[in-house]
Amino acid sequence: MVDNRNMILAVVLSVVILLGFNYWTAKNAPPPELAQQSTQQGSAPTAPGAPGVPSDGVAAPGGASLSAPGGGVPGAVAENVQQGPTRDEVIARTQRLQINTPRLTGSISLTGARIDDLTLASYRETLDPTSDQIVFLQPRGVAQSYFAEFGWVPESKVTVPDGETVWKADKTVLEPGTPVNLTWDNGEGLNFVRTYALDDNFMFTVTQRVENNGAAPVTLLPYGLVSRWETPETTRFFILHEGLL
């Protein structure tokens, strides 16, 4: 009986300490303006080419050159977006393949063939059924960008599609059960084909293939990349985990 009482007291005291500490830190935290100003004063200038600053002309395996920030795979290094265009402005800049399903809406940019505009149609930001739908993906170039892209890294000097390549689509809308083919010819005998398919829920299937119409064999290394810039908004409750599992 004494042991049970001691354990109950220990649990109660632990909860009181945790909640009390969280209340004290929230009450005594500096204003956001002061915290941001202190961070800016304490940060040193970043030299060109340092980590976090996009750079072009990065060498790929075998000496090929890719237009990729920070490495052989495009988007591998975070970009610094302070102030810039809005989400709608960035989306309107490029031709797009529309996404239309009962549970998803959005589009795929034909420049770079990125999946960068996705909204969860059946989920809301709050319990209010009239609140905004959850915006899941954000295009590159806006704050808190979050997108998926795919491609190839060549082992030799072969021109491959990159983030600025404009693809041709055989349809204008991606719907469940109706895949869409994107194609791009590098002018050197290689025709790149990327197929996007979508089920009735949230599952994307991306199939990549290359048609070699040239005389010499070519080795390409495919990749898929999900990129996210900056830290998303959280509740900042230190005993609640938010993020990757």
Report the sign of the C-alpha dihedral through residues 231, 235, 239, 242, in that order. negative
What integer pLDDT is reported at residue 19 of this predicted model?
A: 86
Pairwise CA distance, residues 58 & 235, whole Å:
38
**In one letter, which amino acid is 224?**
G
36 part of a folded domain: no
238 torsion bin: left (phi>0), alpha (psi -120 to 50), beta (else): alpha
27 part of a folded domain: no
2 part of a folded domain: no
177-190 pLDDT, tens digit per residue, is: 999 999 999 999 99
Pairwise CA distance, residues 32 & 35, whole Å:
5
Mean pLDDT of 133-147: 91
233 part of a folded domain: no
Report the CATH number that the domain containing residue 60 is assigned in CATH: 2.70.98.90
Report the sign of the C-alpha dihedral through residues 109, 199, 148, 123, in that order. positive
Quickly state the pLDDT bin for 138 (edges 50, 70, 90). very high
Other Cβ atoms less than 10 A from the Cβ of 118: the count is 22
Other Cβ atoms less than 10 A from the Cβ of 125: the count is 10
- Which stretch of 76-90, 164-178, 196-210 has the lowest confidence by average pLDDT? 76-90
What integer pLDDT is reported at residue 33 of this predicted model?
A: 61
244 part of a folded domain: no
Where would I find the beta strands (DSSP E) of 125-179?
133-137, 146-154, 168-169, 173-174
49 part of a folded domain: no
63-119 pLDDT, tens digit per residue, is: 444 444 334 565 555 455 556 788 899 999 999 999 999 999 999 999 999 999 999
pLDDT at 58 over 50: no
Say what the pTM is: 0.63
- Which stretch of 35-49, 109-123, 184-198 has the lowest confidence by average pLDDT? 35-49
102 part of a folded domain: yes
Residue pair 106/139 in contact by the 8 Å Cβ criterion:
no
Quickly state the pLDDT bin for 62 (edges 50, 70, 90). very low
**How crowded is the C-beta side of 149, counted as CA atoms within 13 Å?**
27
What integer pLDDT is reported at residue 40 of this predicted model?
A: 54
228 torsion bin: left (phi>0), alpha (psi -120 to 50), beta (else): beta
Quickly state the pLDDT bin for 52 (edges 50, 70, 90). very low
Mean pLDDT of 10-15: 89
Range among 25-39, 50-64, 228-242 with highest mean pLDDT value: 228-242
Pairwise CA distance, residues 215 & 207, whole Å:
24
What size, in residues, is the chain? 245
Name the residue range of residue 80's domain. 54-228
73 part of a folded domain: yes
Into how many domains does the chain fold? 1
